[in-house]
Amino acid sequence: MGSEVFKRVQEIIVEQFEKEPSDITSDKLLVEDLGLDSLDMFDLICALEKEYGFHFEREMGSSIATVGDIVGQLERNINKE
């Protein structure tokens, strides 16, 4: 069972990139495992910004490699607020 944030990230990736929910686990690499490219990464961040209402700094992008990295970033931002 993942967190609420994980579930929402999973839903967004499934919807946006037409993936199967079972493909989306915390350890999955966004590029190598899920096949996202640079345009997809921007669009994913855009969707998450709309969903959670805050701005991802560009440098944060370089520290995101897995689904779990995204969830971690989001949870840290949510906890800050």
Partner 1 sequence: MRRVVITGTGFYSPIGDNMADLRSSLEQMKSGIRFMGEWDSVNGLEARIAGVVPVSDFSEIPRAYRRTMDRVAMMCALSLKRAVAQSGLDAAHITAHKTGLSFGSAMGGLETLFEYAEDVSHNSGFGRQNATAFLRFMSHTVAANLAVMFGVIGRNIPTSSACTASSQAIGAGYESIKYGMSDVMLVGGGEGLHYVEAGIFDSMGATSIGYNDNAQAASRPFDISRSGLIVSEGSGALVLEEYEHAKARGAVILGEIVGYATGCDGSHITLPSERGMEQVMRDALYDAKLNPEDIGYINAHATATPKGDIFESIAVHRVFGHNTPISSIKGYTGHMFGGGGAFESIVSLMALNESFLPANKNLETIDPACAPLDYIRSHRETQIKAVMNNNFAFGGINTSIIIKKI
Catalytic residue, chosen from 23, 33, 37, 40, is 37
Which of 10, 33, 34 has the alpha carbon at shortest distance from 21? 10
Contacting range for partner 1; rule: CB under 8 A; set: 3-11, 21-29, 38-46, 68-76: 38-46
Q: Is 46 in the site for partner 1 (CB under 8 A)?
A: yes
3-class DSSP assignment, residue 54: coil
Q: Find the shortest distance in angstroms from Cβ 20 to partner 1.
A: 13
Q: Is 42 in the site for partner 1 (CB under 8 A)?
A: yes
Strand partners, 29: 66
**CA 35, CA 13: separation in Å to the nearest integer?**
12
Residues annotated as part of the active site: 37
